[in-house]
Chains A and B, each alone.
Chain A
């Protein structure tokens, strides 16, 4: 009664081989499952609730989407986000520009934010090893940082992120980092967000 068909055994062996091959292709990261188009819409709504945004953005709100060199997932996410932001009529009531930027290092990022007057910087995947440096270097830099990886928000590498809980989007906010980066969100946003203190 307990025999398994020869075909089943062969297929199971094949499955494990494929799984091992797939393991070799693993790219470390724990990406939010919130669709990127929805993330862009949520980011635009949250930007309108940042009281510091009008002063930070100027006449045109600039969004930079950071990619990690050699990370295909990061490149794909960035392209999707760029298209999603581009499809929005306005962000925080302002016209906007979005660009994909290849990440070099944290100090270069801080310099870029200042020289380009970037209002929103979006981290894609692949920054697991850079999050701590980014958090440190952006202390005192006025910019709304967002991340597609929820863990980056918990670690302070981004002020805002999104997670999918029970099939619905949840806003994540790192409050200490928000204060350091002059992101001043309405209290009613904080009441519906998961806030890291």
Chain B
């Protein structure tokens, strides 16, 4: 029976590939329809070919077809130039040979419908499974590589990722679904989209809510030394399966309302998940983190005259984090060293602002446009940490790590575009960001694109960007972590060039880049001598750490992509590759060394085929990375590294026969290596343990669409 079905499928593939209708296709028309339209690079709708950046567009169909569950997976499997590594605390993103361990993607700016998601207090997982962005309502994801502060300000160091949600007409009707990773998680969701008239104005609404519960996978962690107890006994960490290693509950709601020229996005999410980036005891069920977000953004566009267009955006957001962990032998715990402290660290970030962006189309034909903008954001951040005796619940000290700070950050920018001929486009701009913590930062960009022959495009881009220190980095201090002195924003500067050629529905891109990042903020680890000197100079206890602008990175490399389709787009495929020579320099040391955790080469490929009739659409997606030095690899003998890894995902989607409106998605995921380059546990015995990953899982989902 299986063999007969296989033959039928193969015959269907062969028949549709050789059907005479293919000869009637207009390759130029298909090429125009396949041309991605991006808005993120210059805040204007334009084709990807002419945009002043290297970008990838991931469509809703891609997300469904390739079995994608998270933003991190989407960019990892389908975008150019971005590598993603899954850790127990969330997804780590890098680009073009650069990855900063532990930043959970905070060197990327994440936007939802153009509104910023990164919160000012500290970085948190905004790309992984608990980030609270339901994907069924996502229309497409624009991934813009390279510095993007010219329009967006802080965080756009390695790139900008803009998640664009569906309008009501693209999500019309009621939808319900559920998806489960077999034996470990389940995610039910509901969605709704509708077109209507609001006060006579054409309007649309789309909304999706999801709940995610994970109860595994449960990983085994090798035993590590976690210090000595007064009895002389060695305290152990690990040596068992952690029952709480991946357990989580998360809920999210994402909604969009468009009415006339207004566009409103609302988002709410909450998750309760385990935390691993703390000095916690092993597998204590009390150790967990709760993140909550509530945000709203309103955009409005008006054409005041044939020359003047004005775009206005108002936004507000609230994000809070609460991390609780228990630890024995914690440095800061005032109890005897065989007793356990419980630490509760809370923070709230709130921000609200307005952005006004007039543009002037001087020639009234879009060839010479001046855009100006001002973006003002008021922010308030509260944070503190409390320690308790875990046995009695008694508070042990007054609150530490207290942050209570309000400020106003303002960005003013301008952008000039000029297309003197049909084959030449120029884009120049700069943004000035004011933040009371450091001198104003200027982020310029100059870009040119030339279409010298049919289907060909050349691009050259120079751009700079910055990342302001988080409030945690700027303001958190205690006896062991003195406040930083004159902490400066991280900066990056990039030069890149690319050539793109389109052959009907096939596109080939090759680019080179050179990126320099400076002032990278890291925790300075005091040695006994420097700690004593610091204590003497500042009349304090000898500190352990301090946030400092310690490092700089140079990365030079190439990237390439190929994508296309055949057989009336039934067969789609694509591949990307990025290779970089990246070196890190640390203040106070000589010489440059390879970066930890960042792959020197990585890429992805995908292929899918739409079988005819009721047969499924089959797809295979993969992402791969070269070997990566483990986190802090220079402190271990032999400079250990994690092996090369490939992640493969096969997916089938289709309609369930007999039941109109019901469809399925089944995927199997395999990872070739069970270890990441990220450290886990105290590792005081200098024998590093690496964070594990789930090497195989099967996911099954059903979706039902009610009749419209």
Contacts and interface: CB of A to CB of B under 8 A. Distances in A.
Interface of A: 1-12, 14-16, 18-19, 22-23, 25-30, 33-38, 41-42, 45-46, 48-49, 72-73, 75-76, 79-80, 82-84, 87, 128, 151, 164-171, 186, 188-189, 191-192
B348 interface: yes
- Interface secondary structure of A, over-half rule: helix
B37 A169 contact: yes
A85 to B, nearest CB: 11
Contact of B37 (A4, A11, A128, A168): A168
A17 to B, nearest CB: 10
Interface stretch (B118-126, B287-295, B362-370, B606-614): B362-370
A6 B348 contact: no
B350 A8 contact: yes
B351 interface: yes
Interface string B9-40: 00000000000010011101110111111110
A191 B57 CA distance: 23
- Interface secondary structure of B, over-half rule: strand
Given A82-B365, A188-B25, A19 B32 contact: no
Interface in B177-209: 200-202
Contact of A169 (B32, B39, B364): B32
Contacts of A76: 303, 305-307, 309, 361, 364
A7 B378 contact: yes
B103 interface: no
Contact of A168 (B36, B306, B351, B353): B36
Nearest to A36: B366
A189 B29 contact: yes
Contacts of B422: 87
A166 B60 contact: yes
29 contacts: A2-B348, A3-B382, A5-B378, A7-B406, A8-B378, A9-B378, A11-B353, A11-B377, A12-B314, A15-B353, A18-B312, A18-B314, A19-B298, A26-B302, A28-B202, A34-B45, A35-B46, A38-B32, A38-B37, A45-B32, A49-B26, A164-B45, A167-B139, A168-B34, A168-B35, A188-B21, A191-B568, A192-B33, A192-B569
Contact of B365 (A15, A45, A80): A80
A41 B32 contact: yes
Contacts of A7: 378, 406-408
Instruction: Report the 9 A-B pairs with minimum CB-CB distance, sorted nearest first.
Output: A5-B406, A166-B59, A83-B365, A15-B314, A8-B378, A73-B303, A167-B140, A5-B380, A25-B302
Contacts of B366: 36-37, 80, 83
B304 A72 contact: yes
Contacts of A19: 298, 300, 312, 314
A8 B380 contact: yes
Contacts, number: 185
B672 to A, nearest CB: 31
A80 B46 CA distance: 13
Contacts of A4: 350, 352, 380
B354 A168 contact: no
A14 B376 CA distance: 11
B261 interface: yes
A151 B21 CA distance: 31
Given A18-B312, A33-B45, A45-B28, A170 B59 contact: no
A8 B406 contact: yes
A42 B461 CA distance: 28
A145 to B, nearest CB: 19
B610 to A, nearest CB: 13
A194 to B, nearest CB: 10
Given A5-B407, A26-B300, 6 more contacts: A18-B356, A35-B46, A38-B47, A84-B365, A166-B60, A167-B59
B302 A22 contact: yes
A26 B201 contact: yes
Interface string B153-177: 0000000000010000010000000
Contacts of A33: 37, 39, 45
Nearest to A42: B32
A169 B361 contact: no
Contacts of A48: 26
B200 A15 contact: no
A80 B142 CA distance: 25
B37 A5 contact: no
B37 A15 contact: no
Contacts of A171: 33
Interface in B71-112: none
A79 B261 contact: no
A27 B159 CA distance: 34
